[in-house]
Amino acid sequence: MTDTWRHEDGGPRRRSCVAGARLALQPGESLKSTSRAVMVATMVVLASTDEVFLLCHTGGDDAVSWIERIDPVTLEALSASEKLPGGPAWPGGLAVH
């Protein structure tokens, strides 16, 4: 994978896709998915194929957000930021550089 997903919604135009991205499945190939339960996952952004970040948050008037660096295959948290005040259920946005 050479393209990255570095900003919320794929960038300021909010196209929700990486430019030029496609599945390009070949005959006999298939997709495999992995899932993980989290409180609320707002978005995933990719800094590179091995740097994947997940923005999470709680709800309510005193919502907090945090960012996890996750394993790109298992989705398990490798590290996490401190809890960040978010206000009334607004998770914030995320970009990597």
Classify residue 93: in a domain, yes or no.
no
Residue 3 lies in a domain: no
CA gap 60, 31 in Å, rounded: 36
User: Exposed, middle or buried by CB within 10 Å (0-12, 13-18, 19+), for 31?
Assistant: exposed
Q: How confident is the model over 34-73, as pLDDT tens digits? A: 999 998 888 888 888 889 999 999 888 888 889 999 999 9
Q: Is residue 20 part of a domain?
A: yes
Q: How far apart are CA 44 and CA 38, in angstroms?
A: 13
Say if 1 falls within a structural domain: no
Confirm whether 2 is domain-assigned: no
User: Is the residue at 62 inside a domain?
Assistant: yes
Domain encompassing residue 18: 8-87
Residue 36's pLDDT is 92
For residue 67, being part of any structural domain is answered with yes
Domain count, the chain: 1
